Amino acid sequence: MSDITRREFIHFMSRSTAAAATLPWILECAHKAVRPVGPTLPFTPIKASTEDALVLADGFNFEVILRWRQPLNKKGELFGFNNDYIAFLPLSPLDPNEGLMWVNHEYHDPYYVSGWRPGTPRTTEQFNKERKEVGGSIVHMRKYEGRWQIVADSQFNRRLDAYTPIPLISERPILGHRVALGTMGNCAGGVTPWGTVLTCEENYENFVGEAIYKDGKRTLVDGDDYLSWTKGVKLPPEHYGWVVEVNLKSGKAKKLCALGRFAHECATCSVAPDGRVVVYSGDDAQDEHLYKFISRRKGSLEEGELYVADIKRGRWLPLNRREDERLKKAFTDHTDMMIRAREAAKIVGATPLDRPEDIEIDPLSGHIFVALTNNKKGGNYFGSILKIMEKNNNPLSLHFDSATFMAGGPETGFACPDNMVFDKKGNLWLATDISGSAMKEDPYKPFGNNGLFYVPLDGARAGVAVQVASAPNGAEFTGPCFAPDGKTLFLSVQHPGERAHFRENMRSSWPGGGTSEPAPCVVAVSGAAMESLLN
């Protein structure tokens, strides 16, 4: 990328002061030498591990800063289960040591949460417990005497869960409602340039089932028996699968139906030269698609145009019912098309992908990195990272080039890339998600537990992943997010010991050890090696 283009990119990525506050290293990159990684790393990478521990390379350390069931406020609300995406927004741009943290709670594990066992009916109490564990937490955090801690009973501390009423921002009511009950399946997300958080409803059908539309009829199918609430409560599936925008100061949320309904993994924002916002989002399912939304106005994602990627021809295909007879015929109105966005994508010829998960934008090149976790149906077990390069580096462009940035496998040392984050020097951190049922089995045996990898983007080590951390048994690292100092990495440790079903199957006791039950936690990773990499 030329210097001029790079300056322009950094300019539009930092047009608003809110964006500057939330993405501090993007501004910093404009002034500093970036991406240098010397001939020797400041740490020795670890090897794949099968230990029930959070193993870190020498020179890194971690501290648990939030933990499942940690009290949040005087109302008795607790930090939820299976924490995933993390966003951190400083309360003041002048104070990097205090801010509001958003944490997704993707799903519940009944064994730990409600005591429900497969093959038995769920009691009302069990439904209620499970529905309280999902959604997200807003947590006021402060760094005090060198440690990140919750500000107890702060007015900002609150929960969103599967009971929270959330308005549906759509052209018309959805199944007669303008308000949905709750949010769930909250996987990854994004931060808007105006400092709100986007939380993505991914595998909603596990909880509420799915509505199938065929030949003018709507049929309901049940969710996954382990997670499903369909036998206790009838929640319309069409009220879920959206991107939800949350104001962390007020706790107010809204579902942005203009971004389409599918298994949204994330919602990654970029600002166009004219101030409109572009949101990239993957549909994490085998052979599903990559989407991009262009807002109609600055400062709002309530209206705009949705596009889907044709990777082979390098085109963003519009899902525009007004101008496409095929879409006009298939859907009764725009809201119908947004509800059934997957069907619309197929009608216009979107490219099937290998489970598009997290998306991050390289702060230096402007290239869009898309984690394609795997596609076992298509024989792709290890996944890859796809790089999208918008024409003229303009996020409004409807043409792009693409290339595989790196592929997982025994040669590269990682498998199933999922969550990513760029550090303040423009290098990539990558977390893997080998599913719990496949971990330690062929072909995943060589990779051990899930890991966290560092990938320099420049110099002799460019594109070579080195392992920094290994997760406890059954767990996955999710939600990597740098603190405002750029040298502390907040990281979720999600689903340690998942789906144990019975105590004798419990494969993890992290973080307590011994005979204790495992607990999903947020940790802060720092240390001399991190300082050395990011100074």
Q: How far is the CB of 491 from ligand FEO (least distance, A)?
A: 15
Determine the Cα–Cα distance for residues 137 and 144; give it in Å rounded to an integer.
Answer: 21
Min separation Cβ 265 and ligand FEO, Å: 5
133 binds Ca ion (CB under 5 A): no
What's the closest the beta carbon of residue 122 comes to Ca ion, in angstroms?
26
Q: Which is nearer to ligand FEO, 187 or 420 (CB)?
A: 187
* Nearby residues of 152 by Cβ (< 8 Å), 6 or more positions away: 71
- Site size toward Ca ion (CB under 5 A) is 4
Task: Return d(Cα 167, Cα 172) in angstroms, integer.
Answer: 12
CA angle 58/59/62 to nearest 5° reads 95
Instruction: Provide the H-helix boundaries in 305-418.
Output: 325-330, 334-339, 341-348
User: Nearer Cβ to ligand FEO, position 202 or 390?
Assistant: 202
Min dist CB 152 to ligand FEO, Å, is 30
Residue number with CB closer to ligand FEO (336 or 498) = 498
Nearer to ligand FEO, 103 or 294 (CB): 103
Tell whether residue 418 is a contact of Ca ion (CB under 5 A).
Answer: yes
For the CB of residue 357, give the shortest distance to ligand FEO in the complex, in Å. 5
CB of 326 to Ca ion, least distance (A): 32
CA angle 285, 291, 296 (to 5 degrees): 145
Minimum CB separation from Ca ion for residue 197, in Å? 16
| Closest to 477 (Cα-Cα) out of 423, 521, 527 | 521
Q: At 308, which helix (H) or strand (E)?
A: strand 304-310
- Phi-psi domain of 386 (left: phi exceeds 0; alpha: psi -120 through 50; beta: other): beta
Residue 362 binding result from Ca ion, ligand FEO, none, given CB thresholds of 5 to 8 Å by partner type: none
Residue the block writes with tokens 């760094």:
143
Contacts of residue 470, Cβ cutoff 8 Å, sequence gap at least 6: 46, 48, 49, 51, 53, 54, 55, 448, 449, 450, 451, 452
- Examine residue 433 and tell whether it contacts Ca ion (CB under 5 A): yes
Pairing of strands 356-361, 466-470: unpaired
Q: Which does 498 bind (CB under 5 to 8 A by kind): Ca ion, ligand FEO, none?
A: none
The helix or strand, by DSSP H or E, that contains position 451, with its residue range, turns out to be strand 451-455
Instruction: Fill in the DSSP letter of residue 487.
Output: S
To Ca ion, the closest distance from the beta carbon of 358 in angstroms equals 6
**One-letter amino acid identity for 282?**
G
For the bound state, the minimum distance from the C-beta of residue 377 to Ca ion, rounded and expressed in Å, comes to 16
Q: Is 201 helix (H, G, I), strand (E, B) or coil?
A: strand
CB of 104 to ligand FEO, least distance (A): 9
Task: State the DSSP string of 416-438.
Answer: SEEEEEE-TTS-EEEEE---TTT
Q: Could you tell me the CA-to-CA distances from 213 to 217, 220, 350 in Å, in that order?
A: 6, 9, 20
What is the Cα–Cα distance from 240 to 185, expressed in whole angstroms? 9
Q: Which stretch binds Ca ion (CB under 5 A): 147-155, 180-188, 230-238, 524-532?
A: 180-188
Q: Residue 52 or 106: which CB sits closer to ligand FEO?
A: 106
Contact partner at residue 52 from ligand FEO, Ca ion, none, CB < 5 to 8 Å by partner kind: none
- Would the CA dihedral through 13, 535, 360, 135 be positive or negative? negative
First to last CA, the chain: 24
Please, which residue, 238 or 433, has the CB nearer to Ca ion? 433
Q: Residues in the site for ligand FEO, rule: CB under 6 A?
A: 106, 187, 202, 265, 284, 357
Residue 202 interface partner, choices Ca ion, ligand FEO, none, CB cut-off 5-8 Å depending on type: ligand FEO
Q: Is 201 near Ca ion (CB under 5 A)?
A: no
User: Which residue has the closest beta carbon to Ca ion?
Assistant: 433
State which residue, 138 or 200, has the beta carbon closest to ligand FEO: 200
Residue 106 partner contact from Ca ion, ligand FEO, none using kind-dependent CB cut-offs of 5 to 8 Å:
ligand FEO
61-80 residues in contact with Ca ion (CB under 5 A) are none
Closer residue to Ca ion in complex, CB, 187/506: 187
201 binds, among ligand FEO, Ca ion, none (CB under 5 to 8 A by kind): none
Per the document, the length of the chain is 535
Residue 130 binds which entry of ligand FEO, Ca ion, none, with Cβ cut-offs from 5 to 8 Å by kind? none
Nearer to ligand FEO, 106 or 205 (CB): 106
CB of 200 to ligand FEO, least distance (A): 8
Residue span binding Ca ion (CB under 5 A) among the ranges 75-83, 145-153, 356-364, 454-462: 356-364
CB of 436 to ligand FEO, least distance (A): 12
Whichever of 350 and 416 has its CB closer to ligand FEO, that residue is 416
Cβ distance to ligand FEO smaller for residue 363 or 479: 479
| Pairing label, strands 384-390, 451-455 | unpaired
Ordered DSSP codes for 7-45: HHHHHHHT-SHHHHHH-HHHHHHTTS------SS-SSPP
Residue 390 interface partner, choices Ca ion, ligand FEO, none, CB cut-off 5-8 Å depending on type: none
- Residue nearest ligand FEO (C-beta atom): 187
Question: For ligand FEO, which is the closer residue by CB, 52 or 265?
Answer: 265
Query: 136 pairs with which residues across the strands?
Result: 104, 160
* Distant-in-sequence, close-in-space partners of 209: CB < 8 Å, separation ≥ 6: 220, 221, 222, 223, 228, 230, 237
Give the binding site for Ca ion (CB under 5 A). Answer: 187, 357, 418, 433
